[in-house]
Structure 1
């Protein structure tokens, strides 16, 4: 093979390599055509997180006459803790006890007994407890918090892990933001969300480039959801990359150089 032919081969190979490495906007950009979704974005946002079995709740009942509300509160627990704070010895701290939602969706509430909470939102449970407690206490105030709202984000993201959520409203994009967003090797069109609902495992694949993702019930995440970002083709190929390929490429480069020298 003469030098011009080798040079032409290298040019063609370089062009093919550049073309194969190009990624179109459609493969990367999120929520394409978002302006066409219009008012559907607000209409489809559902912020009503439903309570489930194995949820942990704190419930605090207060009233103008606090003594009357006391029987409806669990005793505050003292947590052992030692240390120095501003020169003062700290020996312990107080912590609210939690209610565990059992497999049948119930909690055992002081005075009221068994209360079914599964399927209710936090606001609905507040109203339910307030109505029941009003039979014993005048003008009760009920504050409820879900304390074990966690989601796990795995796969091709920059910071995979399990994240505690303080707010009760979490969308898929926000969860991915907690994980540092997708890496350049993550598939944006095939993000898996797995969920356990009513003892059954459900899942759905979502396309982050499609604005209609907001129509999915999996767009708004629930407690203990798992998000998995699949690696794209380039990352899969790199995973199966032959460790000796670098050696082979080096040998091929030397042979090509020798061929150029011989033909000159």
Structure 2
């Protein structure tokens, strides 16, 4: 009986296995001429700027907390983590904030409309802080993006959409959050889909090569979509499974008959 069990196991292994080389799954490969200890200058770090329809958290403080609270109508809601859900749905209170209008303005109590289009969060902080000096004593302002999210799809362990609390995420960080590319995913042709200025870009990155760090798609932008397509091994896996399924069923049926005897 043990022999028949090993036979069934062997059939499963033969049916599901595919030839995948180490070179296909190794990240950050260097040219043969490279030596260890290489240091590269980081030159393409991405800093997001405020665009129409962005959702901003604007937190105001001053020497008079009671007066400051007038400028923080969303403070209680913003303390709720954006990933918290109720019955599988994100609560409306988890995503409230100051919406940037189509002209690039935010509307603050008393201060009115403030133009923040094209500014970084640090630049917006300085501008709003200066405007609020007319209403508060020594105000301090903190601005951050609430709608910086990226999506990871395809041959990864945990496809999902991820919030970015610190205004910066790299491709490698997003793939790590998604549980990494599966053994069947193509590392040499990862797609990043990006919408910029009314246009949709489709960038390609080879995760096997070290020059991926120089790609304009390595630092992710808000609402980027990462897609990892299946490789030939995944297709072969599916084809072989359905091809040998009758054989596996037959072998298991034969084992069952022998066991009964």
Matched residue, 2:20: 23
Is the Cα contact below 8 Å between 2:189 and 2:204 reproduced in 1?
A: yes
1:221 equivalent in structure 2? 220
Larger Rg: 1
Superposition misfits of 4+ residues, deviation over 6 angstroms: 34-37, 248-251
User: 2:167: which partner in 1?
Assistant: 168
Summarize the Cα distance change of 1:210–1:118 in structure 2 as closer, same or farther, 3 Å threshold. Answer: farther
Give deviations 1:28-80, integer Å, cap 9, x for gaps. Answer: 1111129679443x52251512233332212111111334434433366689x
Report the counterpart of residue 68 of structure 2 in structure 1: 69
Q: How far apart are the structure 2 equivalents of 1:192 and 1:78? A: 35
Q: Does the 8 Å contact 2:28/2:209 carry over to 1?
A: yes
Q: 1:140 to 1:250 in 2, by over 3 A?
A: closer
Q: 1:230 and 1:108, CA in 2 relative to 1: closer, same or farther beyond 3 A?
A: same
**Counterpart for residue 82 of structure 2:** none
TM-score by length of 2: 0.71
Report the 3-state secondary structure (helix = DSSP H, G, I; strand = E; otherwise coil) of the residue aligned with 1:188.
Answer: coil
Aligned to 1:44: 43
Where relative contact order (Cα < 8 A, 6+ residues apart) is larger, the structure is 2
- How far off its partner does 1:174 sit? 0.6
> What are structure 2's unaligned runs of at least 5 residues?
1-13, 79-92, 251-261
Cα distance per residue 1:61-105 (max 9 Å; x no partner)? 1111334434433366689xxxxxxxxxxxxxx989511123333
**TM (normalized to structure 1)?**
0.70
Change (3 A) 1:25 1:241: closer
- Residue-pair matches, total: 218
Q: 1:78-227, aligned counterparts within 5 Å?
A: 97-227=96-226
Asked if the contact 1:76/1:96 (under 8 Å) is kept, the reply is no
Structural mapping, 1:52-67, within 5 Å = 52-67=51-66
Instruction: Determine which structure has the larger strand proportion and give its number.
Output: 1
Calculate the aligned-residue CA RMSD, in Å.
Answer: 3.2
